[in-house]
Structure 1
Amino acid sequence: MREATVRCANPQGLHRIAYTEWGDPHNPDVLVCVHGLTRNGRDFDDLAEALSSDYRVICPDVVGRGRSEWLPAKSAYGLPQYVSDMMVLLARSRVESVHWLGTSMGGLIGMLIASQPDSPITRLVLNDVGPVITAASLRRIGDYVGRAPVFPDFAAAETYIRAVSAPFGPLTDEQWRRMTQTSVRAGAGGGFEMRYDPGIGDVFRSAPVLNDVDLWPIYDAIRCPTLALRGESSDLLTPETHREMGRRGPQAKLMEVPGVGHAPMLMDSAQIALVRDFLLSA
């Protein structure tokens, strides 16, 4: 694993986003893995290691998360900024095309890029996200994003992460521990704090969420082969939307992960195999 940063622009100035990279740095086959709303690129350590013999795997920390810098204006946190940053990162990769795996928010970023003419994404994995984002799931996310306390010790941080991340499904004690290690950092006044900008939550609470978000026109414009993974108990990607994704647009290959809500973490061998088999089936 290698760590690096790349400089990007925002309406108020410049910021750096961090990323980890796995595999041969000269491999022309690149897989970009992008995380969910409050997560970071280290979520993909197991998958990236498993696929590093086939791909150069790039796992960014979206701005405001992980090791990436925070935006001065919290209102700038949103898909336009994220897409802009990811295009800078793709330019840094120095390849004409990439495969893309996106969990939740990372999938929305991938959808937006893949829907464009002359898109660099030639194969797309959407992990528990689709063209309809339910209002209920958005309200649930808004209830906790940016409201995490400062934890007195690491054990308290792990207890919190296990609680808010319960929909991820059954993980081993070692996996929960590793996820906590990459999710928190030492606080300035002692203890531990989450490794993301609390201001991300401001966008969710700036106005009441009354309706589902409809992105079908974007999904319908996607032309590359697509895999749509769904957690069996997901409240963000409904069974109805998932089935429709197999009929419309890229007519995604549909797969469901049992015993998981939002979203499969792609840490165990069975989930990794679903992704590997699709990506390497071309």
Structure 2
Amino acid sequence: MDLIGPTSQSYISQRTRLHYVDWGNAGAPPLILLHGGRDHCRNWDWTAEALREDWHVICPDLRGHGDSEWNNNGHYPIMGFVFDLSQLIHQLQLAPVTIVAHSLGGNIAIRYTGLYPENVRKLVAIEGLGPSPKVQAERREKPYHQHWIEWIDKKREASSRQPKRYATFEGALSRMHEANSYLTAEQARHLTLHAVMRNEDGTFSWKFDPHLHAWPLDDVSSRGLQEMWGRITCPTRFIYGADSWASNPEKDGRLAYFGDNVSVTEYERAGHWVHHDRFTDFVKELRDFL
């Protein structure tokens, strides 16, 4: 079968136009690939190309990311992202759907699956559980009012600062390599190509909203999250990189809030972006698990 694509599409959620790419093969089972924070949907291109013969692959740009619109108020609560995902699945009638997600996308997908367990056939989340118990404990030691003061300061900084401009594409490419040293030259160039926009003066800036640096404090409680986690019934795989900053739930105790349907894989010689750092092994695991 000769598949074309990906094709750019859009849908409306919370009065905002959001972008996604559709890799074709609409008659196949639906598979959503959801990117992480300050990333974009085209970071999944290699995975989508590997799976598109067997799946109808859809890769959304989160609001404030990629080619999706920014929020006018610069406020991005996680449950707002969860609503966007629920709207995509609802509007395109994708349920029951399989989801593979990374980092922030993993956090969103895990919450959605806990809310609507009947809508997800299988779930793979790469480092998507958010801050570790250790980090959360450290945060609780700081006075509550201080968190809000720091958030206001970050918002003001984001409002007063112009998006960083790189004089050349190579400057942005260098920053991409700096963020993930595991990337090959080909991977870094491809990711940067879809991550930047050219400004009117010929410089390059990242597409994501600078306000994404100021993470909202209003969120679901730890107890609420744990309840959502316990509601997940589909086969679920959590993937971690041994060299990442993220905490493995099998080692930090968070796996206890999930059922026997959840398992964990850890990759040596991999950081936060396991799907790039160990691509061949990652795709093999996906094929076997899905």
Using the size of structure 2 for normalisation, the TM-score is 0.81
Determine whether 1:239 maps to 2:273. Answer: no
Q: Which runs of 5+ in 2 are unaligned?
A: 1-5, 140-153
Which SS does the other structure have where 2:214 is aligned? helix
Q: Residue 85 of structure 1 corresponds to which residue in structure 2? A: 84
Q: Residue 163 of structure 1 corresponds to which residue in structure 2? A: 178
Q: Decide whether aligned partners of structure 1 residues 213 and 230 sit closer, same or farther in structure 2, where only a CA change above 3 A counts.
A: farther
Q: Residue 148 of structure 2 corresponds to which residue in structure 1? A: none
Q: Is the 8 A contact 1:266 1:272 kept in 2?
A: no
Which SS does the other structure have where 2:12 is aligned? strand
Q: Residue 258 of structure 2 corresponds to which residue in structure 1? A: 249
Letter in 1 for 2:208: Y
Q: Residue 219 of structure 1 corresponds to which residue in structure 2? A: 229
Structure 2: how far apart are the matches of 1:175 and 1:49?
14
Q: Residue 144 of structure 2 corresponds to which residue in structure 1? A: none
Cα deviation, residue 217, structure 1 = 2.8
Cα deviation, residue 95, structure 1 = 3.1
Which SS does the other structure have where 1:265 is aligned? helix
Determine whether 1:99 maps to 2:108. Answer: no
Q: Is the 8 A contact 2:32 2:99 kept in 1?
A: yes
Q: Which runs of 5+ in 1 are unaligned?
A: none
Q: Residue 168 of structure 2 corresponds to which residue in structure 1? A: 153
Q: Residue 186 of structure 1 corresponds to which residue in structure 2? A: 198
Structure 1: how far apart are the matches of 2:78 and 2:249?
25
Name segments (4+ residues, structure 1) moved above 6 Å. 145-148
Letter in 1 for 2:164: P
Deviations 1:182-217 (A, max 9, x none): 11110233210001111111236x79xxxx967433
Letter in 2 for 1:160: R
Determine whether 1:130 maps to 2:159. Answer: no
- RMSD, aligned CA: 2.9
Q: Decide whether aligned partners of structure 1 residues 72 and 21 sit closer, same or farther in structure 2, where only a CA change above 3 A counts.
A: same
Structure 2: how far apart are the matches of 1:239 and 1:108?
14
Cα deviation, residue 111, structure 1 = 1.0
Structure number with bigger Rg: 2
Structure 2: how far apart are the matches of 1:240 and 1:34?
20
Q: Residue 3 of structure 1 corresponds to which residue in structure 2? A: 8
Q: Decide whether aligned partners of structure 1 residues 223 and 132 sit closer, same or farther in structure 2, where only a CA change above 3 A counts.
A: farther
Letter in 2 for 1:16: R
Higher percent of residues as helix: 2
Letter in 2 for 1:217: E
Identity of aligned residues (%): 24
Letter in 2 for 1:163: E
